[in-house]
Structure 1
Amino acid sequence: MPPVSSPGLLDGTGALRTSVEERAARVRFRRAMALMVMTLLAPGSAQLVAGNRRVGLVAFCLWLGLLVTGFVALVVALVVALVHREWIFSMVSNPSLLLVLRLGLIAAAVGWAALFMDAWRIGQPLSLRLTHRRAVVGVNGFLCLSVMGTLLFGAHVVGVARDGILTMFGSDEVVGAHDGRFNVLLLGGDSGEGRWGLRPDSLTVASIDAETGRTVLIGLPRNMSSFPFRDGSPMAEEFPDGFDCDGCYLNGVSTWAQDHEELFPGSEDPGVEATIAAVEGITDLEINYWAMVNLEGFKDLVDAVGGVTLNVRQPIPVGLPHEAHFHYIDAGVRKLDGHDTLWYARAREGSDDYSRMARQKCVMNAMLQQVSPQVVVRNFEKIAQASTAMVSTNLPASELDTFMDLALKARGQKVSTLSLVPPMIQTADPDIPLVHRKVEQAIEQAEGGGTKAAGGTGRKPKATPDAVTGGSIGSLSEGYAANQAEDLGAAC
């Protein structure tokens, strides 16, 4: 009878049995992998089991404390959001808190990466077989870079948001609501070299109810002339009978003031200050804040949110016929990118200034209704970067929470419009008392306390199939629906 071969040796057929050394190698490999997985799931646990217990205890306690704190903060935030949403907005827009969060994410990234490297060391890679060693190095590198990259990307996004807030919202002067409303002057400025904000291409006052967010957009034509300035302003002293000089229009007030800076001692932006004085004189509204929108940069914002859907009433030309990119935006419901959206809002061919103003109001309404919190979260970094390049404003960072909350409230409501244009208002010689009455009526109507007057904000152009001019419902003689509507969405 042949002898029986012992374990770990070749049997009679030449098959190799599992040796003690191979089993030990697999045990070491599994141990090394387990240490890395432990570091991923509970940072510091690998050191507690097989390394420096003091380091492991500190890391594990920090991780556990952050985990518990984060969970409690999330629950509290969800509860508070139900009853006091502004508090959440104030947290996410506070530069100091964002700085702490950014530094915390960077520290966590570095510390976690160090723990992964230490877990690899504790796993004694030199005692592993070559194939096992390569596997351990690959897995450790993947986990280390993934965790560290995620945290550093989060720190980068927080940094972009903080930088954007500090760059755009530099003012510290808080202005309370006037008669229960915030009046914000929105200026659309060309972005050419040396031309930032010199001649606003569009001027709109967003009058926002401080409680409900109900908004009235009051459009002012850039070619308005012979209008008064706010009493007591430097411009009112220079033009006591109104801005009636030769070739003087509303969009030229800024340029005139920039050329006469000596009249505005201590002013950081005489052009904006003079324009506000004009708008207040025309509308009889007190302006709380202003925002200058770089219309070229607006393209990037639209692209950042994934485009905007608009009801194109007529083909709109994009570019000029001799340009290579010239084309038409076809009629119909279209989702447009930033380039085409800007041309939809600014195209002049086959249109007039007032039809163009109507299209601009439709773009504003579409952005308000379509840019949801979910869209902002998904595209946060792109939006923050685009907004930094697009907007200049005197809105204080401390007021961001208020206006973010009002924006969310406004999304669920109708937006009213009143444009001070023909046939209601003659831009060359505006009836200012009539303008004041119309503005007051529009706001009262939006608040539910007004009555429709003849020719008031409830008036709409004849909506026949042919009553479309320059892409807007209506005509120059009848007026445009989006310029004078109780529900801008329906008029677009």
Structure 2
Amino acid sequence: MADGRAQRDDDTPVQAGDGAPAGGVQRALGLTLASALVWGVAHLWAGRRVAGMILLGLFGVLVIAGAVTTALFRGDLVRLALQPSWLSAFAVGLLVLALVWVTVVIRSYQVARPDDLPTGARTAGAVTVTVLCFAVAVPFTWAAHSTYVARDTLTSIFRSGDSNGRPVNTADPWNGQSRVNVLLLGGDAAPNRVGVRTDSMTLASVDTETGDTVLLGLPRNLENFHLPPGPARDRFPYGFTGDGAGTPGLLNEVYQYAEEHPDLVPGVTKNQRGPELLKATISGILHQRVDYYVLVDMRGFADIVDAIGGVKIRIPEDILYSRENRVLKAGYRTLSGKEALWYGRSRTNSDDYTRMGRQKCLMRAVAQQADPQTVLTKFDRLAAATKRAISTDIPQELLPAFMSLSGKVKNGAKIDSLQFVPPLISTGDPDFALIRRLAAEAVAGGPAKPSTTPSSSPTASASRSPNTTGGPSSSATKPPQSKPVSLAATCPS
């Protein structure tokens, strides 16, 4: 076979296509398919041993390198997959590998194909090889495209460097702290509304060793709080009054007020003024560090839910669409993005505080159901929705550390929730000493004791945040929740 020809039983050489052109093209295609799976098979059959061994050796190196890298450096692969420069290199590498693989397929067919094929067999062979080339190239092209989309998503959402543009110390991502505190915000931006009101504000304090998390929820209608020292405190020395007329402002107004008044946060760029002032304000209210923030636009959140195919959740009682006079029926439901938005935002027959609890349960359900298979199969749509929905100041360099931490949170870590709502506090006249003490105890994991400081009536701010139906608030009859409770226990299942 050294000269690439077939042999008869009497050792008389014949051309591979003699007397059986159909069999010749079938054998050539079979060898080409084998070479697409293992490089060099067709070349070795044709007697081109040097080229065949080189191709086989290269293929073996690729397989071994891939297996060893996956087995020994899986953690590093995750880290590299979250770095835009490596994603760019990987995408280019995939395209180059696809080009090489297609070249091997084409050349293998040329080597194995008989020279005297009829026109029909030659055409059929060429078409079949073309289809095989597409079959080889499509997975690589899809992977390269997905890699590019991932890079574009990362660079669109996460900046490089800290808030001042300085390099981040990735060797100590948490700056020696045992916990990292991330402010989770839900904004209500919409085409028919001006600005952003942060109707959902929760500080997630995460133990960096165990992933155990405490969620500290603040109500949107909290009043009589102070802004941080500096230009903001100078403007409002006796507490925030957003309208400037002496009426107490609400906590959910701080974000947009800062965006409209850059002098309150000098040196901070547009679209970061609101987050910076709100982070500092909530840090003062809770007496807890606020390291980073993540803002999820509510309409964008609906797009994320649709991108993962809906969210499964149990609704304990019917929830009315307040504007459309439709009902989310009680029971196990798979909610669309729009329905999930109403589930999290509706105050009909309930109140702000019941809604806060539903929002946390909704976030928990989405996080649980956004499994790797769902993310991979719907990656493009999910990435596009995420770019529209999320803004944050978490640096790109810390993404590997946060990815590792999120794995701990998702895989068995304890998640507790403490909401500072009536009757635990009065939103119109908050007991900030009580809020700070309970927050400190919740984060430290110590026992919380009943407050000895009297609070004013929970209805003090009713005029600023009325029940939309005029009915009784479901939280008014419940005993105060003065210590964190498990989110798994409080969310319907």
Shift of 1:434: 1.0
1:152 aligns with 2:114: no
1:433 aligns with 2:433: yes
Give 1:211-250 correspondences, 5 Å limit: 211-230=209-228, 232-244=229-241, 245-246=246-247, 248-250=249-251
Partners of 1:177 and 1:288 within 8 A in 2? no
Amino acid at match of 2:398: E
Amino acid at match of 1:372: D
Partners of 1:345 and 1:360 within 8 A in 2? yes
1:75 aligns with 2:74: no
Cα distance in 1 for partners of 2:331, 2:339 equals 14
Shift of 1:147: 0.8
User: In the superposition, relative to structure 1, how do residues 477 and 263 fare at CA in structure 2: closer, same or farther (>3 Å)?
Assistant: closer
User: In the superposition, relative to structure 1, how do residues 347 and 42 fare at CA in structure 2: closer, same or farther (>3 Å)?
Assistant: same
Instruction: Mark the runs of 5 or more structure 2 residues left unpaired by the alignment.
Output: 1-15, 163-167, 453-467
Of 205, 208, 220, which residue of structure 1 is paired with 2:206? 208
Partners of 2:309 and 2:336 within 8 A in 1? yes
Of 45, 59, 65, which residue of structure 1 is paired with 2:61? 65
Cα distance in 1 for partners of 2:176, 2:357 equals 27
- Higher alpha-carbon deviation: 406-415 or 190-199: 190-199
Partners of 2:232 and 2:265 within 8 A in 1? no
Give 1:364-383 correspondences, 5 Å limit: 364-383=363-382
Give the structure 1 partner of residue 174 of structure 2.
Answer: 176
Cα distance in 1 for partners of 2:342, 2:117 equals 65
Of 17, 24, 28, which residue of structure 2 is paired with 1:28? 24
1:110 aligns with 2:99: yes
Give the structure 1 partner of residue 258 of structure 2.
Answer: 257
Give the structure 1 partner of residue 290 of structure 2.
Answer: 287
Partners of 1:184 and 1:289 within 8 A in 2? yes
Give 1:414-425 correspondences, 5 Å limit: 414-425=414-425
Give the structure 2 partner of residue 462 of structure 1.
Answer: none
Of 272, 275, 278, which residue of structure 1 is paired with 2:275? 272
1:165 aligns with 2:154: yes
Q: TM-score, length-normalised on structure 2? A: 0.81
Deviations 1:186-232 (A, max 9, x none): 111123249686321211111111111111111111111110233x3
Amino acid at match of 1:66: L
Partners of 1:310 and 1:333 within 8 A in 2? yes
Cα distance in 2 for partners of 1:144, 1:344 equals 49
Deviations 1:160-180 (A, max 9, x none): 111111111114114735751
Shift of 1:356: 0.9
Shift of 1:30: 3.4
Partners of 1:305 and 1:371 within 8 A in 2? yes
Aligned residues: 442
Cα distance in 1 for partners of 2:475, 2:65 equals 61
Cα distance in 1 for partners of 2:91, 2:56 equals 21
Give the structure 1 partner of residue 458 of structure 2.
Answer: none
Deviations 1:348-371 (A, max 9, x none): 222211111111011122223333
Partners of 1:180 and 1:210 within 8 A in 2? yes
Cα distance in 2 for partners of 1:182, 1:380 equals 28
Shift of 1:288: 0.7
CA-atom RMSD, angstroms?
3.0
- Higher alpha-carbon deviation: 285-294 or 309-318: 309-318
Q: SS where residue 290 of structure 1 aligns?
A: strand
Give the structure 1 partner of residue 487 of structure 2.
Answer: 488
Cα distance in 2 for partners of 1:199, 1:188 equals 8
Partners of 1:417 and 1:485 within 8 A in 2? yes
1:310 aligns with 2:306: no
Shift of 1:65: 1.9
Cα distance in 2 for partners of 1:223, 1:165 equals 34
User: In the superposition, relative to structure 1, how do residues 31 and 316 fare at CA in structure 2: closer, same or farther (>3 Å)?
Assistant: same
Shift of 1:398: 1.5
Shift of 1:40: 0.7
Give the structure 2 partner of residue 354 of structure 1.
Answer: 353
Shift of 1:491: 1.0
Shift of 1:73: 1.0
Deviations 1:297-350 (A, max 9, x none): 1122223333222220111124623xxxx6321101222222211110011222
Shift of 1:67: 1.3
Shift of 1:118: 3.0
User: In the superposition, relative to structure 1, how do residues 393 and 55 fare at CA in structure 2: closer, same or farther (>3 Å)?
Assistant: farther
Partners of 1:357 and 1:483 within 8 A in 2? no
Partners of 2:450 and 2:482 within 8 A in 1? no
Partners of 2:239 and 2:248 within 8 A in 1? no
- Higher alpha-carbon deviation: 372-381 or 98-107: 372-381
Give 1:463-474 correspondences, 5 Å limit: none
Shift of 1:485: 4.4
Cα distance in 1 for partners of 2:275, 2:379 equals 29
Shift of 1:123: 4.6
Amino acid at match of 2:262: E
User: In the superposition, relative to structure 1, how do residues 401 and 21 fare at CA in structure 2: closer, same or farther (>3 Å)?
Assistant: closer
Cα distance in 2 for partners of 1:431, 1:481 equals 14
